[in-house]
Structure 1
């Protein structure tokens, strides 16, 4: 699964990396947790990209309410084409979720936290889905991060990992008119070739901590 991640890049870096034409509003954090608004990138009808802040924990459009429903922070790649919670969003509402690292906890030797990031520390993007829930005058826009089976890098830490979309395929993933089979084919692990894992201290265990100490290497 993916339940915590970091995004500490500057606004300028985000605008350049995702080729945005509009201003970006977000709060950099070393420890982003579910059930808060997070930065998403969506593609408009004219092909331009827009940065929006969506609630992390997808609420399906058919849910009876937005508060007591189980908020789906992750969507399994294997079932997004069939599961009612994600099926429509996969066809019509794909998004990119900017990050520069994510956390996972390896439990076989205690509970060691790892920060997984690019070797050059540059930003990247998770594959995501977004949804609109509406009832009377209340509207909620929410999102989820797609996960897949762990590759060789991640298997020693956890059995799942978030899907990362390679930079050259951002448009292919966001394009609303793309063939869904082509979009699904992008959900492999080729973007992990430049990733590495760093054991970090237990400071990151608390979602209340969101400063640079979260990514400091653990003392050996």
Structure 2
């Protein structure tokens, strides 16, 4: 799964990387502790025009009467996304990319103590996502979820799930700009695509902030 991440790339650089037109209300960067329900950077496309926009991290199905009406849907499983009522239409029609610098995952010891790890690639990671516009009268929110899949061999040492990470050559296909076949992209990244290291347990708090959150520490 993916329940917390960092984004440090400046907005202008993000827009240039994805060849996307930036909106005017994007979240501030850097943010070393992006949490569920935060507004995050998302790349979407109508087939001709890519946009870098802000969305709520936490998908809102059409039957939710309020944003807190049901479970917090921050991830969508690749194996079932096409069948789940919450995600199946978005999977066909509203796929997006969620840029991150790296993401966090946790392991536990025998006493249940949670130890955070920071996972990153050589460059900005493009996570596969799905989104929809949730509208209730005057309340309208664009909300998204990160698509996850079974972990590759390297990541399985930390967690059994991982985000679907898209190489640049696959961005157009995932965004619906290059025809059909996006389902083939929902797979684990190669083992060598990611590295990870232990970080301080202060990131266990969703109020923690600052670049020290991603600094490596010696594992206990």
- TM-score for both structures, normalised by structure 2: 0.91
Cα drift, residue 16 of structure 1: 2.2
Q: Give the Cα–Cα distance (whole angstroms) in 2 for the partners of residues 144 and 97 of structure 1.
A: 9
What residue number does 2:119 align with? 116
What residue number does 1:41 align with? 43
Q: Give the Cα–Cα distance (whole angstroms) in 1 for the partners of residues 63 and 202 of structure 2.
A: 38
What residue number does 2:203 align with? 204
Q: SS where residue 85 of structure 2 aligns?
A: coil
What is the number of residues matched between the two proteins? 215
Q: How does 1:119-138 map to 2 (within 5 A)?
A: 120=122, 122-138=123-139
Q: SS where residue 79 of structure 2 aligns?
A: helix
Q: SS where residue 54 of structure 1 aligns?
A: strand
Cα drift, residue 192 of structure 1: 5.3
Cα drift, residue 178 of structure 1: 2.9
What residue number does 1:64 align with? 65
Contact 1:59–1:70 (Cα < 8 Å) also in 2 = no
Deviation digits for residues 136-163 of structure 1 (CA, Å, limit 9, x no counterpart): 2321211000111111111111111111
Q: SS where residue 79 of structure 1 aligns?
A: coil
Q: Give the Cα–Cα distance (whole angstroms) in 1 for the partners of residues 92 and 194 of structure 2.
A: 29
Deviation digits for residues 32-65 of structure 1 (CA, Å, limit 9, x no counterpart): 00011111000134x2210111111101123233
Contact 2:23–2:53 (Cα < 8 Å) also in 1 = no
Cα drift, residue 20 of structure 1: 2.0
Pairing 1:75–2:83 present: no
Cα drift, residue 10 of structure 1: 1.6
What residue number does 1:219 align with? 218
What residue number does 1:107 align with? 108
List runs of 5+ in structure 1 lacking aligned partners. Answer: none
Contact 1:32–1:210 (Cα < 8 Å) also in 2 = no
Cα drift, residue 216 of structure 1: 1.0
What residue number does 1:32 align with? 34
List runs of 5+ in structure 2 lacking aligned partners. Answer: none
CA RMSD in angstroms comes to: 1.8
Q: Give the Cα–Cα distance (whole angstroms) in 2 for the partners of residues 132 and 62 of structure 1.
A: 12
| Residues 79 and 175 of structure 1, relative CA distance in 2, 3 Å threshold | same
